[in-house]
Structures are given as C-alpha cells and as structure tokens.
A and B are shown apart, each in its own frame.
Chain A
Amino acid sequence: MQQTMNRMPYGMDFRDTATQMEMKDRFHAIIISLKHNIREYATAVTEASCPMVRQTLQRLLYETIAEQAECYQVMSRQGWYPPGATASRDDVMRSIQNNQQAAQEMAQTVAKSGIRSTVGTMYAPVTDRYGYEAVHANGMQHQHAYQPQGSYAMQRNMRGETS
C-alpha cells in the first residue's frame, strides 16, 4: 500500500489507487494460476502415453512458462512483485561446500563403477572472499576428485557424442 502511494503520480486520486490495488490482486491470482497450470502441464506430459498428446502438452507447457515470465516482468515493473530475500555470500559458500562433499562422494561411487566421473568440470574452484581456495570442514583444502580434462562440451566431443 505504502509502496503504491509513493509511486502515485501527481493528479492520481484514491479511486486510481484502488484500481491499482485491484489490478495487483488480479495479477497475483493470474500468476498463481499460471504456476498451477505449469505444474499441471508438467505432470500431464509425464503421464501422457500418446506421442501426439505428449507433444501438444509439452509445447503448451513451454508456452505457459514463457507467459509466466512475461507476467512476472509486468508485475515487477509495476512494483507488484517484491524481490525475494538475497542469500548472503556465506550462505552460498556453505551450500557450495556441502554440495562439493556430496559431489566427491558421487564421483567416488561413479569411479567404482568403472566410468570416469565428469563431476566438477562445469565450475571453477571455490574461493573465499579473499580469493583463497575454500577449505573443507575436515581442515583439508579442497582437492578435485580427478584431474579436469577440459570443458564438459570438449569431453563430449572427444567421446564422439553430439547434443
């Protein structure tokens, strides 16, 4: 409400503000319905056994995702969609470290199966705010579980795979 009042241009009366609030509520209902439809389409695609039905539903899913993005852009420009809380750098670092440990376990499990793991080729080593490579909870500096062999795309090319 306060935000809308501050944005109210000169000459706009309370009836305009009420209309704006009403429109904001309508857009919230629209974006909720769009998100609901996206979930419905996604589930329906996975349940479709007829290829023609699946193809149609998949196309309508992508269209609905694009429309939801457009709706969000309109709402954002009007100030009707407050941005989400920003994650701190420490939170991001913690998440990366936790998932790197999981990635190492995954790489070890994959390596046992005889396949060379590709985990870690997509991102640079994690550094802290001073640019030093991150240290794991066990006190050891992070080591890649394998030697990187270039980009993921390059590895796929070497294996003769096409996207």
Chain B
Amino acid sequence: MQALTTKELNYLDDLLGGEALLAKTCAIALPTATQQDVHQFLHHAVAEHQRRHDELMHVLTSHQNAAH
C-alpha cells in the first residue's frame, strides 16, 4: 500500500465534506417529501451518500499505516 500524497489527502477531505453535505441535505428534505418519486430519490440518495462517505473513509483508514 503506497502512502497518500498531500494532494490526494486534500481531495479526499473535500470529497468527504461533499458527501456528508449531500447526505444531510437529502435527509433534511426527506420528511417533507410528499410525492413518491421525490421521496424515493431522496431516500436512495441519503443511503448512497453515506455509503460513498464510508468508502472514502475506508480509503483514508486503509492508507493510515502507510503514512510516515
């Protein structure tokens, strides 16, 4: 496993922030969604953005030991 570069780390930070923001935005909108397709999209989006956040966190943690 090669160590993350500073650039990679910075991008991962930004992407993690982006996924968290989208998960929260969709979660806040979800209870007020009355139409089925809107509700379905938001419900799916909350799950997806949490999963992507997890995947990005996994990238970070799996490179933890390679860092000097």
Q: In whole angstroms, how far apart are the Cα atoms of A152 and B32 in the complex?
A: 51
Task: List CB contacts (< 8 Å) of B11-68 with chain A.
Answer: 11-12, 14-15, 18-19, 21-22, 25-26, 28-29, 32-35, 37-38, 41, 45, 48, 52, 55-56, 59, 62-63
Q: Is residue A159 contacting chain B, with contact meaning CB distance below 8 A?
A: no
Identify A50's interface contact among B4, B21, B34, B56, CB under 8 A.
Answer: B4
Report, as a range, how many residues of chain A touch the other chain.
20 to 34
Q: Is the interface of B mostly helix, strand, loop or mixed?
A: helix
Instruction: Establish whether residues A34 and B5, one from each chain, have CB atoms under 8 Å apart when the complex forms.
Output: no
Q: Cβ of B25: which chain A residues have Cβ within 8 Å of it?
A: 26, 29-30, 33
Instruction: Establish whether residues B41 and A37, one from each chain, have CB atoms under 8 Å apart when the complex forms.
Output: no
Chain B residues engaging chain A, CB cutoff 8 angstroms: 1-2, 4-5, 7-8, 11-12, 14-15, 18-19, 21-22, 25-26, 28-29, 32-35, 37-38, 41, 45, 48, 52, 55-56, 59, 62-63
Top 9 A-B residue pairs of the complex, sorted by shortest distance between their CB atoms:
A44-B11, A26-B29, A37-B18, A74-B41, A47-B7, A33-B22, A50-B2, A60-B52, A74-B37
